[in-house]
Amino acid sequence: MTLQDTITIPDTLFAQVVDDEMVILDTVTQEYFGLDASGAMIWEYLSESGSLQSAFDAMFAAYDVDAKQLENDICRFVQELVDAGLVQQET
């Protein structure tokens, strides 16, 4: 997984902010997933463009973070989403 990758979010997922976390429902499996604030922010950027680079750019501009650490965190998080079957990596 790199920042050059893009993902798609299946139409079978429903995401909603509840209290201070984002809850994602997979309407096929009926499983719920919870994302913390950082995960929710990445999810929002990905749902807009599908671009890991766009998510990185927006978060890097908004926060005082190390670029390499942010890149690693985003790529690792999105890989976890792919592994869980919540998003699909474009090839």
90 inside domain: no
Q: What is the structure's pLDDT at 78?
A: 95
Running DSSP on this structure, what letter comes out for residue 30? T
2 inside domain: no
Running DSSP on this structure, what letter comes out for residue 87? S
1 inside domain: no
pTM: 0.88
- Residue position matching structure tokens 């139409």: 11
64 inside domain: yes
Containing structural domain, residue 63 = 7-84
Query: Do 45 and 35 touch, CB atoms closer than 8 A?
Result: no
Number of domains in the chain: 1
Domain with residue 74: its CATH number is 3.90.930
> 20-38: per-residue pLDDT in tens?
789 999 998 888 899 998 8
Instruction: For residue 46, give the H/E element and its range.
Output: helix 37-49
